[in-house]
Amino acid sequence: MGCKCENNCADQKVQELIEIIDKHKGKKGALIPVLHDAQNLYGYLPLQVQKIISERMNIPLAEIYGVVTFYTQFSLNQKGKYQIRVCLGTACYVKGSGKIYEELKKELKLSGDGTTEDGLFSLESCRCIGACGLAPVIMINDDVYGELVPADVPDIIKKYRDRK
Amino acid sequence: MMYKSHVLICGGPECTKSGIAEINKQFERLLREKSLENEVKILKTDCFGLCEKGPIVVVYPEGTIYSEVTPDDIKQIVEEHLVNGRIVKELTLGGKEAKEALKGLEEVPFFKHQLRIALRNCGVINPESIDEYIAKDGYRALGKALTEMTPSEVIETMKKSGLRGRGGAGFPTGLKWEFASKAQSEQKYVCCNADEGDPGAFMDRSILEGDPHSLIEAMAIAGYAIGADQGYIYVRAEYPIAVSRLNIAIEQARNYGLLGKNIFGTDFNFDLELRLGAGAFVCGEETALMTSIEGKRGEPRPRPPFPANKGLWQKPTILNNVETYANVPVIILKGPEWFSSIGTEKSKGTKVFAVGGKINNTGLVEIPMGTTLHEVIYDIGGGIPNGKKFKAAQTGGPSGGCIPAKHINTPIDYDNLLSLGSMMGSGGLIVMDEDTCMVDIAKFFLEFTVDESCGKCPPCRIGTKRMYEILERITEGKGEDGDIEKLETLAKNISVSSLCGLGQTAPNPVLSTLRYFRDEYEAHIRDRRCPAGVCKALLRYVIEEDKCKGCGLCARNCPVNAITGELKKPYKIDSDICIKCGACMEVCKFGAVSKKA
Amino acid sequence: MKSLSELDIIRKRALNELNLHDKPDRIRIVVGMATCGIAAGAEPVMKAFVDELERRNIDNVHVTKTGCIGVCRLEPIADVINAKGEKITYVNLDEKKARRIVVEHLINGRPVSEYTAGKAES
C-alpha cells in the first residue's frame, strides 16, 4: 500500500499510519502505543484503521476491537471539534460538578455524553483530572476551567461557539 | 517637670489579660537602671482598639506604636529608642506586619505541620533539570547502592525501614523486593504504577511533574536489588505534562549514563520505557496493569501466581507506585533507622494526602504517619468553609470508606484506617460537611465501580450493578424494608468472591456509610426523607410567604411553569409540576425559596 | 556516569549554580508549573516575568519552573530567591502582578508585600 497521489489526504494518512505501526512493531506489547498514535492521527479509531493495524501487525481484528472497546480513551466515533470533559471525581462531585454537567447538557441540548449535531462539541464525563484544588473543574480540549458555578457555563460555551 | 518621652501602656482588658503588668514592671526597672525615671513617664491608658495586636505600647513624642510586645522586648525599646532615640522598627506595628507578609510559604500553618520526604523536591527544583536534582543529592543513593552495597543489603535496608506500599493495601516494600530477588529467571522487570486512578488523589501526578528523577533513581535501585535490567512506567494518558517531563528526565538520565549500560562503572545495566494508560481504572490493579503493558485488555489475572514469580510476560516482576518509589532514595541515603523513627509502630514514614472537598485549604499535604485527622483538617486544612459542621472524611477512594466526626482524633495509619472500615488507599482525603448525603455518596462510588468493573468476573460485574440499583431506588424515595439487609448480603458476597482488589473492595463505601450513618439510610427508606437535602426526589421546594415580595422572578425562570402568582403577592410552587431544578432558589433575591426535606 | 566522585563534581557545580555563591547580585524567580498551576494561569505569568525582564534589560535574573508545592488554591505561585537564599513567595499571581514585582521588587528592591504568601495566609 503506498501513496497514489500527493493530494489524496486519505492515502497520505494511511501512509503515516503505516509509519507509526512500523516504528512500534519491534517492541513488546506494541498494540496500545500504536492505537494511541493512530487515534492522535485520525481523532478516532474507525474499523478501517483497525483493519490496517490488524493486517500489518498480524493481530486478529477481534483482539484489536476488544482492546479498543476496553479502554475509554479509545473512541470508535468521531469526536467534536471541542471536547468538553466534566470531572465527576469525588472532590468535584462533592463541590457540585453534577450541576455543571446538567447545565452543559442543557446548553448543548444533549441527553448525556455525546456529540452535538453540528459536530462542534462533544461532552464527556470523566474521572478526576487531578486538579482537585480547583474543583469543580471542566476541560475543553487542553484548557482547564476551575471553581465553576452553573451560571458560568453559557459564557464559556459561547466563547467557543463564536470562535467556530 | 518636663519629661523627654512618654510611654503609654495599654490598660484595656485584652492587653491586661496578656500580661501588661509584667511589661510595666520591666519598664520601671530598666528606666531606673538607666536613671531615666525623671525623663520618661510611664502612663497606663485606655484601650487603643488594637486588641488583636496587643499588648500595645506607644512611645511619644514620636507616636511609635509597638505591637504584641513581650517583656523581653522592653530592654531593646528602652536602650534603643529611649536612650539612643532610634525607633526599633521590627517591633513596631507596621514592622511586624511587613515581616509577617514577607514570611516564606514554609512558615504558614499549612506547611508547618508537614514533613516532606516524598515531596521533598516538588515545588523546589526545576523538574526539567537533572543538575538541580543532582544538586539536591540526587542519584547519590543509586551510586551508593551500586558501589557500596550488595543487592541483598539494599533489600535488607528496605525491609528495616518499614516502608509499606503507598498505593493502597500497604504491603511491605522490602518483602516484595525480596520475593522477586529470590525468583530464578534470566529476565526480571521493575514496574511503576503511575496510573493514578482514585478520584481525588493527585500526589503521584505532583511527583511525576515536580520530581521525575526521584522515580527514575528509585526504579534503578529496585532493578539492582532484584536483578532486573528493564523497567516500565505505566502512566495515565490524562497527565500530558507528567508524560513529557518523564520523557525529558529519562533522556537526561541516559545522557549522563545514569540509565543504560555499566552504570557507575559497575556491570549493572538498566533502562526505562514509558507506557501510556488508556483510561481504565482497573489497570491500577497490579495484574491488570501488567496485562495492559503486554498490549491486551487490562483484565486482572488470578493470584497466585504472584507477580514476584510470574508477572509481566510471565517473568518475575515488582510493581510499586510513584509515592513509594519517591521514598526509596532518601531511605538509602539517610538509613533505615532514620526512616523508621518517623511514624507509628506499624506504619513508618510519611503519607501524602490530597485534601479536597469541603475544606478551606485544599491541596497536597505530607504528614508523618500517626497525625490525626483533626490536625489535617483543622490545623493544616484550615477547617470547613462557611461555618458548616464536619460530617465525615472519605479516604481510600472507591475502595475506602468514610470516617465520621466521632473518630476524628484517631491517628492516621494503615491499621487504624482499616479498623475504622476505611483504608489508606492512594491518599485521597475528601472532606464532607452537613450538606453531603451519605447515601448519595455511597451511590456515587458504586456508580464508579459499576462503570469501571472490567467485566471479567461475575460478582463484580453483576453484583455491584445490583447494589447500585438498590441505592438508586433508595435515593429516589422508592426504598423498601429489607433493602439494607440485601445490601449487606450482596456486599459480603462480592467482597469474598471477586477476582481482584477492585471487586473485593467495591462494597466498602456502602458498608462504611451503613456502619456510621445507618440512620440516614433509614430516613430515606422509612420516612422518604433526605436529611442532608440532596436527593432530589425526596425534596420539596417551597416559597415562604412572609419573605416573598411578589417580584415574579422565580416564575419567569421556572422551566416548567410550576410557579404561579400575582405581582406583589406571594407566589406558590406546584410540587406536582416542579422538577426540582432549583432555578427559583438561585434567582430569588430575598431568600424566600427553600428546600424542605 | 562512572563513579560517585564524578557525580560529586556535577553536584557541586549544580549547587553553585543554584545557590549563586559566586554571583552575589543574581536572583532566581521560580514559577510553579504543574497542572494546577498551569490551569490557574502560570504560563502567562512566567511569560510576563521573562518579557518584563527583557524589556528592561535586566540580565541578573533567571526565571525557571518548578513542580507543585501543594497549595493549589494559591496558584499561580512564584518564589523570588536571592543569592543569600532569602526567599519571598508571591501567590495568586497574574501578568500584571508579575510585571509589578519586576519593577518594585527586582528594580527598586522593595518586595510587594500585598502579594505575598504571608499576607494571603494572615
> pLDDT 10s per residue in chain B (597 long)?
678 888 888 877 777 777 788 888 888 898 888 888 888 888 887 777 677 777 888 888 888 888 888 888 888 898 888 888 888 888 887 777 667 666 666 777 788 889 999 999 998 899 999 999 999 999 999 999 999 999 999 999 999 999 999 987 899 999 999 999 999 999 999 999 999 878 888 899 999 999 999 999 999 999 999 999 999 999 988 888 899 999 999 999 999 999 999 999 999 999 999 999 998 999 999 999 999 999 999 999 999 999 999 999 999 999 999 999 999 999 999 999 999 999 999 999 999 999 988 999 888 999 999 999 999 999 999 999 999 999 999 999 899 999 999 999 999 999 999 999 999 988 999 999 999 999 999 999 999 999 999 999 999 999 999 999 999 999 999 999 999 999 999 999 999 999 999 999 999 999 999 999 999 999 999 999 999 989 988 988 999 999 999 999 999 999 899 999 999 999 999 988 998 888 899 899 999 998 887
Shared domain for A143 and A98, answered yes or no, is: yes
Name the residue in chain C with its Cα closest to that of A145. C39
Chain C interface mutation, best of A92, A132, A134, A141, highest count of C Cβ atoms under 10 Å = A134
Name the residue in chain B with its Cα closest to that of A131. B202
Shared domain for A156 and A96, answered yes or no, is: yes
Q: What CATH number was assigned to the domain covering residues B130-340?
A: 3.40.50.11540
**Average confidence score pLDDT of chain C:** 89
pLDDT (0 to 100) of residue B583: 86
Please check whether residue A134 touches C, CB under 8 A.
yes
Answer whether residue A3 is part of any domain.
Answer: no
CATH topology of domain B5-102: Glutaredoxin (3.40.30)
Question: Inter-chain contact A130–C35, Cβ cutoff 8 Å?
Answer: yes
pLDDT (0 to 100) of residue B52: 72
**Average confidence score pLDDT of chain A:** 89
Q: Which helix (H) or strand (E) element contains residue C82?
A: strand C78-82
> What cell does B573 get?
410552587
Nearest to B119 among C15, C70, C117 (CB): C70
Please check whether residue B293 touches A, CB under 8 A.
yes
Could you say which of A70, A95, A120 is where a domain stops? A70
CATH class of the domain comprising B438-526: mainly alpha
Q: Which helix (H) or strand (E) element contains residue C9?
A: helix C4-19
Q: How far is A147 from chain C (nearest CA, A)?
A: 10
Shared domain for A141 and A109, answered yes or no, is: yes
Residues of A in contact with B233 (CB under 8 A): none
Residues of C in contact with A132 (CB under 8 A): 72
Q: Which of B39, B42, B71, B67 is nearest to B55 (CA)?
A: B67
Q: What is the CA radius of gyration of chain C?
A: 16
Question: Inter-chain contact B126–C30, Cβ cutoff 8 Å?
Answer: yes
pLDDT tens sequence across C3-46: 999 999 999 999 888 876 667 788 999 999 988 888 888 999 99
Q: How far is A76 from chain B (nearest CA, A)?
A: 14
CATH of the domain at A142: 3.40.30.10
Tally A–C CB contacts below 8 A: 24
Q: Between residues 197 and 226 of chain B, which touch chain A (CB distance below 8 Å)? A: 197-202, 205
Shared domain for A159 and A86, answered yes or no, is: yes
Shared domain for A100 and A147, answered yes or no, is: yes
Shared domain for A113 and A91, answered yes or no, is: yes
> What cell does C119 get?
499576607
Q: Between residues 86 and 105 of chain A, which touch chain B (CB distance below 8 Å)? A: 88-91, 93-95
Give the pairing of strands A121-126 and A82-87. parallel
Q: How far is A128 from chain C (nearest CA, A)?
A: 13
pLDDT (0 to 100) of residue A134: 81
pLDDT tens sequence across C68-103: 888 888 899 999 998 888 889 999 999 999 999 999
Shared domain for A93 and A66, answered yes or no, is: no
pLDDT tens sequence across B448-463: 999 999 999 999 999 9
pLDDT (0 to 100) of residue A7: 53
Contact present, B409 and B150 (Cβ < 8 Å)? no
Instruction: Work out whether the CA dihedral B275, B280, B281, B284 comes out positive or negative.
Output: negative
Residue extents of the structural domains in chain B? 5-102, 130-340, 350-433, 438-526, 539-596
- Percentage helix, strand, coil for chain B under 3-state DSSP, each rounded to 5: 45, 15, 40
Rounded to an integer, what distance in angstroms lies between the CA atom of residue B12 and that of residue B51?
8
Could you say which of A40, A70, A100 is where a domain stops? A70
Chains that touch C (3 or more CB pairs under 8 A): A, B
Nearest to C72 among B119, B210, B362 (CB): B362
Rounded to an integer, what distance in angstroms lies between the CA atom of residue B202 and that of residue B204?
5
Question: Inter-chain contact B444–A90, Cβ cutoff 8 Å?
Answer: yes
Query: Options 3.40.630.30, 3.40.190.10, 3.10.20.600, 3.20.20.30; which CATH number does B350-433 get?
Result: 3.10.20.600
DSSP B499-510: SSHHHHHTTHHH
Please check whether residue B105 touches C, CB under 8 A.
yes
CATH class of the domain comprising B539-596: alpha beta
Rounded to an integer, what distance in angstroms lies between the CA atom of residue C106 and that of residue C27?
8
For chain C, report the end-to-end CA distance as a whole number of angstroms: 47
> Given phi > 0 = left and psi -120 to 50 = alpha, else beta, which region is B477?
left
Tell me, what's the ipTM?
A: 0.90
Tell me the residue range of the domain where A101 lies.
82-163
Q: What CATH number was assigned to the domain covering residues C22-120?
A: 3.40.30.10
